[in-house]
Amino acid sequence: MRVRLIGLPTDSHSSFLRGAAEGPAAIRAALGSDHSNMTAECGLELRKDILVEDIGDLPLQEDADDPARIGEAVTAAARDGAMPISLGGDHMVTGPIVAALAVVHGPLNILHVDAHPDLYADFDGDPLSHASPFARIMEAGHARRLVQFGIRTMNAHCRAQAERFGVEVIEMRDFAPERVPIPEAPLYISIDLDGFDPAFAPGVAHHEPGGLSSREVLQVLHRVRGPIVGADIVELHPGRDVNGVTATLAAKLVKELAALAAKETL
Ligand code: MN
Ligand code: MN
């Protein structure tokens, strides 16, 4: 299996602060830095045991055609037999990614890390808001199961939406790594970096205390039996980061997600 990195430099659907468009470049820089090697914790090494191709950043225009541009790149990756890891960008991008992969694989099962359920029917009049991608995905029938963890901002509206769509929410107040059900294939993983506690990931727009540690998320990811059909890492805001620690966390997640793609060959 090959992994394809797709940079998605867009943040026009952010609801609070823009800045996530700078995310892909910062993740690439952290991944390429000599501060660390390219090995996932299971021992597989990117570029040696796992082929990784980086197509750079898509030429997004922040217009109505961006979802189609994103979908086309993801479709091309799947057609070429490469597992897409998309680097955000705000969380809007997950909608068109999942829509494209659902055409290839049928409705997906999704494991979603976030402080927020992102289930708003509408947010500030923007149906593509980064607060709404999973409402769009569930309405369209692009997911059979949606399992969310890290969630700690559930209001009445989002609770009603989660119930309506049958979302399996492991709220942060009830979280333990072994309590997160790992859905069956075809599995897609979406990681909003604000699911981590701000102490671990300060480089995000929405600081929400009481979140996940790096190790807790890795403990869940390591329970995935793989392979997965795709993944994204979104909402890195380099302008809010501290000494690049959040970009470095994102780069580590690239390695761990790439290792999951390789699991079918183990
Ligand atoms: Mn979030
Ligand atoms: Mn999100």
Q: For 31-68, write each residue's pLDDT tens digit.
A: 999 999 999 999 999 999 999 999 999 999 999 999 99
pLDDT at 9: 98
Q: pLDDT-derived band of residue 238, with 50, 70 and 90 as boundaries? A: very high
pLDDT at 263 over 80: no
pLDDT at 266 over 60: no
Residue-averaged pLDDT of the chain:
96
pLDDT at 1: 75
How confident is the model over 156-198, as pLDDT tens digits? 999 999 999 999 999 999 999 999 999 999 999 999 999 999 9
- Report the separation in Å between the CA atom of 199 and the middle of ligand 2, taken as the mean of its atom positions: 18
For residues 191-217, give the mean pLDDT. Answer: 98
- Report the separation in Å between the CA atom of 169 and the middle of ligand 2, taken as the mean of its atom positions: 14
For residues 204-214, give the mean pLDDT. Answer: 98
pLDDT at 252 over 80: yes
What residues form DSSP beta bridges with 188? Answer: 110, 230
- Report the separation in Å between the CA atom of 263 and the middle of ligand 1, taken as the mean of its atom positions: 28
User: CB of 99 within 8 A of CB of 110?
Assistant: no
- Neighbouring C-beta atoms of residue 71, cutoff 10 Å: 18
Q: pLDDT-derived band of residue 101, with 50, 70 and 90 as boundaries? A: very high
pLDDT at 265: 52
How confident is the model over 122-164, as pLDDT tens digits? 999 999 999 999 999 999 999 999 999 999 999 999 999 999 9
For residues 218-245, give the mean pLDDT. Answer: 96
- Report the separation in Å between the CA atom of 109 and the middle of ligand 1, taken as the mean of its atom positions: 19
pLDDT at 226: 75
- Report the separation in Å between the CA atom of 181 and the middle of ligand 1, taken as the mean of its atom positions: 20
Q: Which ligand is nearest to the CA of 130?
A: 2
Give percent above pLDDT 70 in the chain. Answer: 99
- Report the separation in Å between the CA atom of 91 and the middle of ligand 1, taken as the mean of its atom positions: 8
* 40 Cβ contact list (under 8 Å, min separation 6): 46, 255, 256, 258, 259
Q: Which fold has domain 2-260?
A: Arginase; Chain A (3.40.800)
User: CB of 85 within 8 A of CB of 5?
Assistant: yes
